[in-house]
Structure 1
Amino acid sequence: MKSKPNYSHFKSWKALLVALLIFGATPQSNAATILQEEQQEEFNQYKGKIIDANSKKELVFATITIQNSNISTVTNTEGDFALKVPKALADATVSISFLGYKTKELSLKELKESNKIALETAVTALSEVNIVVPKNAELLVRETLNKKGADYFEFPTLMTAFYRETIKKRKKNVSLSEAVVNIHKAPYTTKQNDAVELYKARKSTDYSKLDTLTLKLQGGPFNTLFIDLMKYPEYVFTQETIPLYNYTFERSARINDQLIYVINFSQKENLTDQLYKGQLFIDAEHKILTSAIYELNITDRENAARMFVKRKPAKANVYPTAVAYRVDYREKDNKWYYGYSNVMLEFKINWDDRWFNSVYSMTCEMAVTDWEKNEGKNLKGKEKLRRNIILSDEALGFSDPDFWGEYNIIEPEKSIESAIKKIQRQIKKDKIGGTAAIPKP
């Protein structure tokens, strides 16, 4: 009889992604307006939707990049994007890429005020290419994880990023927090942790839809930053945990004219501990991780609840039903770096004294929109964002539409955008009446 593996080396996500459920009276929202006036470089804004050329389905998290620059953004869950480009780059070329699709290049001069851009699929059977397919998928994963020093940024980087976290009750948005942050990204060759500086933040919450609960997400941008598998592999893959998974080749795809192996991984059947399952996208020629999409394999919901729920109502059981992750990398001058990540947590609340359960989902995502080499800029202690930050407690109410200036953000979903506008109108109305509180609808 085999002895049970020792998982003491395995770092759980408990310290990284925690849903705080506080039972009590709903607080009044702080609807103060952020007023900042800054010198801003003139820019042009381009909007549009990225779709599949055949099915016409929206492509979620497609990357839009200005060539020969560090400017980029991603599409939202409805395939929409908004890209702000300095007028000095009006003659530049924009690249649109998505996993498994042919990259499209367009001149900015070709773009209109509103654009619909279709991408064609680019799937290649492994037997049709001239690259020798590795016989052992696990060895390929090991080799890829060991190459971060050669293929990823070896120098300190100062990144500008857009961060958003949302809370939904079933399918309706009840809370939204957004921020522009500066990431002091440490070289991939070191074990030094990244540091984050909060630059601007805003929020909007409809407390009337929260079942007298105040739902908060602890960790803020660090939730998304720490799923950079090449910088922090210890949260999923270590020398001890790599053998605990099964690895198989699924298919290949071409991305930016590079052949990509798609490797499935899942925990071995005889293991009951909660590990992960998902897909790794590895550049076939250079053995570089370009993207990863995975989820927690929930085998024990009570244990999963202890991992993710810090506080809960006394008369309710709270447990996650799904925890999913995604990280994408980008390339510049033959070096790769963290570009985008997304975390989704879905959970149920079973009330002791109610007929119906409550279903909530929390999503946080972060996209690097610009970067430069960090020439000796170091954050002091008070400037560093705390790893246990609750962004919704730090941010103020939503400001005017020009608040974000030239910063690239992820285009809001229509439902979120409509909710924000409704609350903004109510805030303005209440100010005229002499109060800044957001009333219940």
Structure 2
Amino acid sequence: MNSDGVTRLSIIWILSVISFFFRKKLIVTCVVSLFTIGTVWSGDHQRDSLIILDDISTSALIDSLTAIHSLDFAYDADILNGSEKRNIAVPYLISEQWLEEVFGRDGVEVRLINNQVIIGRRRGRILSSEAVRVSGRVEEALSGEPMPMVNIGLTGRPMGTITNDAGYFEFLVPEQFKGEQMVFSHLGYIGEKIIVPSRDTMVVVSLASSSVNLPEVNILYQDADVIMRRASQRVVENYPVFPTFLTAFFRETIQQDDRFVDVSEAVVEILKPSYQNVFDQERVRFIRGRKGRETVDMDLINFRLVGGPYHFSRLDVVRNGDFFYNEEGYSQYEYTFNGVDIVFDRMVYRVGFEPINDAESLFYKGEMRIDAESYALVSIEFELTSASIRRSRSYLVQRDARRFRTTPLFARYLVEYRPWGDLWVLSRVKGEVNLRVVDRNRRQRTVFHTVSEMLVSDHTRAASQHRIRWAETFRPSYVLSEHLGDFDPEFWKEYNIIQPDETLEKVFR
């Protein structure tokens, strides 16, 4: 157990709650500033003017754009020829489209976020013309009910997706994997396999409960402490000891009294250090996203989630050492053996845990699933204890106007891993927080329910070209919805995402 492990897990959401009336005033101020900028650039003598740069090198062009337009460039030096010269007509208003025309090429993507220009390789993207699209529904064999959160992947490969709340999925498989096994798995169910077809296909998959197939010998009691000590000792055997590069889909939703008021989705890239190197931290780079919002404002309150992709990329309980024994053989938790189950067609031990002493700081309770053969952590569900919830306000709420009183009601999380050859890699992270906000002036109460979910759709071993510079990283102070631009529906067709259900789709329309 790392000394700061409990605190690190507790600050997954940093929430900002301010008066709606203050926000309205702030919006007016921003509009005035935008109109002022528009006036400066819309004069007749400037609107159609260009700066002509003759025989200028790529490096000099970047320096000129930085000086003229106050742009901050972040790029991979391996993909730009700094000495290449050309004639460039620079407009007064710089757009992402113009930057793409100047710096883009096959395999290179250019993005403009605020005043930051990011030029990098296209990774994690699967061209539709070079892939098979397998879509459909997963249902429970006995009842026919849809099954959410079913893991879908390729045997032995670090890529995959999951079903949505209605049991639907869409999986984009590179054409070189045609004929390989596609696996459908869910805790407590017998996995199903199909062969990746040669063309786009729709399927219906049924999963049967595994409760009647567990060998009797495996149901015998196991010592939970022994299981956890072995799991702690075998981390370097079960997880990558080399840096990995991840492509992930991230979604965060905010509901106010059961009504969606804000939804943000994004594709991100993550550079994850080795599981042996616990001091280096993950770096996250935003690729592109979309946002949806109800036409009416949130009632009275502007509720924002801060730093979502940044925090969720680091919610790796194995790498952080949370809930495990530390090197000195000490743990702040006590463990219980809760039986066995099946996931990925492998037997797993179910190990419950609770804090030994819940008197101060923040602690969690929950259950882990440990692979019975390798002792790798396969998944974990945990939530703040009742006592910790009462102490959690200062950790979870960043700013709270005097008029309002915010009280956390619960905070719970899920972390899953999937097999990659002989190793296990991060697959999915999900978190939910419920908060009650009381308006002291109006004596009104409202409940906000937030869900953030990160699906890792692809892994690769990080090479020298897999770099995320500090200037490109998603920061803990960033609000994801504020970094999302216009929605490009074609962009999403080339990434594996969690399919939105009907309710979410209505928010985006």
Contact 2:135/2:202 (<8 A) preserved: yes
Contact 2:156/2:419 (<8 A) preserved: no
Contact 2:369/2:378 (<8 A) preserved: yes
Match of 1:62 in 2: 150
Match of 2:23 in 1: 25
Once the two structures are superposed, residues 285-342 of structure 1 have per-residue CA deviations (whole angstroms, 9 ceiling, x without a partner) of 2211100011111325552111100112321210111101001101111111111110
Q: How does 1:14-413 map to 2 (within 5 A)?
A: 14-23=10-19, 24-26=22-24, 27=27, 40-42=127-129, 43-109=131-197, 113-123=201-211, 128-129=216-217, 133-135=221-223, 137-191=224-278, 192-206=280-294, 208-234=296-322, 236-237=323-324, 239=326, 243-268=331-356, 271=359, 274-299=362-387, 301-376=389-464, 377-397=466-486, 399-413=487-501
- 1:344, distance to aligned residue in structure 2 (A): 0.7
Q: Distance in 2 between matches of 1:302 and 1:131?
A: 37
Matched pairs, number: 410
Contact 1:273/1:299 (<8 A) preserved: no
Distance 1:340 1:111, change over 3 A: farther
Once the two structures are superposed, residues 182-227 of structure 1 have per-residue CA deviations (whole angstroms, 9 ceiling, x without a partner) of 1111111211222111111222223624113222111221332222
Contact 1:159/1:185 (<8 A) preserved: yes
Contact 1:162/1:178 (<8 A) preserved: yes
- Which amino acid is the alignment partner of residue 172 of structure 1? R
SS in 2 for 1:311: strand
Match of 1:433 in 2: none
Distance 1:149 1:300, change over 3 A: closer
Once the two structures are superposed, residues 378-407 of structure 1 have per-residue CA deviations (whole angstroms, 9 ceiling, x without a partner) of 22221222233221121124x242122311
Q: Distance in 1 between matches of 2:381 and 2:4?
A: 25
Q: Distance in 1 between matches of 2:147 and 2:333?
A: 30
Contact 2:291/2:508 (<8 A) preserved: no
- 1:348, distance to aligned residue in structure 2 (A): 0.6
Match of 1:416 in 2: 504
SS in 2 for 1:396: coil
SS in 2 for 1:408: coil
Contact 1:124/1:254 (<8 A) preserved: no
Q: Distance in 2 between matches of 1:13 and 1:287?
A: 23
**What 5-or-longer segments of structure 2 have no aligned partner?**
32-94, 107-126
Q: Distance in 2 between matches of 1:334 and 1:131?
A: 25
Q: Which structure dedicates a bigger proportion of its chain to helix?
A: 2
TM-score in terms of structure 2 length: 0.73
- Which amino acid is the alignment partner of residue 181 of structure 1? V
SS in 1 for 2:383: strand
Distance 1:143 1:67, change over 3 A: closer
Q: Distance in 2 between matches of 1:276 and 1:311?
A: 24
Q: Distance in 2 between matches of 1:134 and 1:251?
A: 8
Q: Distance in 1 between matches of 2:394 and 2:213?
A: 43
- 1:254, distance to aligned residue in structure 2 (A): 2.0
Distance 1:233 1:350, change over 3 A: same
Distance 1:133 1:151, change over 3 A: farther
SS in 2 for 1:129: helix
TM-score in terms of structure 1 length: 0.84
**Deviating more after overlay: 176-185 vs 80-89:** 80-89
Q: Distance in 1 between matches of 2:341 and 2:199?
A: 27
Q: Distance in 1 between matches of 2:218 and 2:236?
A: 27
Q: Distance in 2 between matches of 1:148 and 1:405?
A: 36
**Deviating more after overlay: 351-360 vs 307-316:** 351-360
Higher relative contact order structure (alpha carbons within 8 Å, sequence separation ≥ 6): 1
- 1:103, distance to aligned residue in structure 2 (A): 1.0
- Whether 1:11 and 2:11 are equivalent positions in the alignment is no
SS in 2 for 1:153: coil
Distance 1:127 1:244, change over 3 A: farther
Q: Distance in 1 between matches of 2:6 and 2:329?
A: 7
Contact 1:344/1:361 (<8 A) preserved: yes
**Deviating more after overlay: 275-284 vs 116-125:** 116-125
SS in 1 for 2:386: coil
- Which amino acid is the alignment partner of residue 162 of structure 1? F
**Deviating more after overlay: 294-303 vs 70-79:** 294-303
Contact 2:133/2:173 (<8 A) preserved: yes
Q: Distance in 1 between matches of 2:488 and 2:338?
A: 48
Once the two structures are superposed, residues 79-117 of structure 1 have per-residue CA deviations (whole angstroms, 9 ceiling, x without a partner) of 221111234434332110111111100123399754332
Match of 2:43 in 1: none
- Which amino acid is the alignment partner of residue 17 of structure 2? L
**Deviating more after overlay: 220-229 vs 180-189:** 220-229
**Deviating more after overlay: 245-254 vs 62-71:** 62-71
Contact 1:46/1:84 (<8 A) preserved: yes
Q: Distance in 2 between matches of 1:190 and 1:108?
A: 37
- 1:361, distance to aligned residue in structure 2 (A): 0.9
**RMSD in angstroms over aligned alpha carbons?**
2.9
Q: Distance in 1 between matches of 2:368 and 2:489?
A: 38
Contact 2:254/2:449 (<8 A) preserved: yes
SS in 1 for 2:444: coil
